[in-house]
Amino acid sequence: MALKREFYLREPAVVARELLGKRLVRETSAGMCGGRIVEVEAYLSRRDPACHASRGMTRRNATMFGPAGRAYVYMIHSRWCLNAVTEPGGVPSAILIRAIEPLEGLDLMHQRRRTEMVRDLARGPARLCEALAIDRAYDGWDLTAGQELWIAEDPEANGKPLRIARSGRIGISSAQRRLLRFYLLDNRYVSGRVRRAAT
């Protein structure tokens, strides 16, 4: 059961935090795959210089200006990255899904990534997209419809509290002071170098 639109219609930092532990699910004719979201980053509309939308709408970032709960997929360095759009239409904020812990369809993800290392399947935003076969075709995709690509509660969560840490965003030069990266503490599928957790 996919998360509903209301989930995404909130403060981006809150949505980011709550996306941790949720299931990212991908279904193709080849089968199902996906896993648990372990790392995300929030990008806050126009006031945030690191956000693609901070300089207004362009062809690339138009999806960010649309309804919440859709996928914003963009290319960087010849690789795709997946975001979930948050807040009401016209407030262009989004959450970058940076890493998942692979749980389902590992064989499919190995094929697509061409690696034997489970840890390298979806650790990093572009690796994740390669593992799940996400590209430009999914820019604007409705993540609340429960088809092909969606986000759902983790059936194995059982209400267990998550140990969450936050830090500055990775690969960003501006606005490093903002702690908008959220990740699960001590999870080996989180990307980036080991750094101090600012809680």
Could you list the residues that contact DNA (CB under 7 A)?
Answer: 41, 43, 50-53, 55-56, 58-61, 64, 72, 74-79, 81, 83, 94, 96, 113, 115, 120, 124-128, 169-173, 191, 193
Q: Which residue number, 23 or 98, has a Cβ lying nearer to DNA?
A: 98
- CB of residue 2 to DNA, shortest distance in Å: 21
CA separation for the pair 160, 163 (Å, rounded)? 10
Nearer to DNA, 22 or 157 (CB): 22
Within a 10 A sphere around the Cβ of 185, how many other Cβ atoms?
A: 12
In angstroms, what is the minimal distance from the CB of 185 to DNA? 20
The answer to whether 87 and 14 are in contact (CB under 8 A) is no
Report in angstroms how near the CB of residue 142 gets to DNA at its nearest.
18
Q: How far apart are the first and last CA of the chain?
A: 31
CB closer to DNA out of 18 and 130: 130
Helices (H), 24-169: 106-113, 125-132
Q: How far is the CB of 5 from DNA (least distance, A)?
A: 20
Residue number with CB closer to DNA (41 or 101): 41
What letter would DSSP give residue 114? T
Helix, strand, coil share of the chain (percent; to 5): 25, 30, 45
Comparison of 57 and 146: residue with beta carbon closer to DNA:
57
Shortest CB 67 distance to DNA, Å = 16
10 Å CB burial of residue 196 (0-12, 13-18, 19+) is exposed
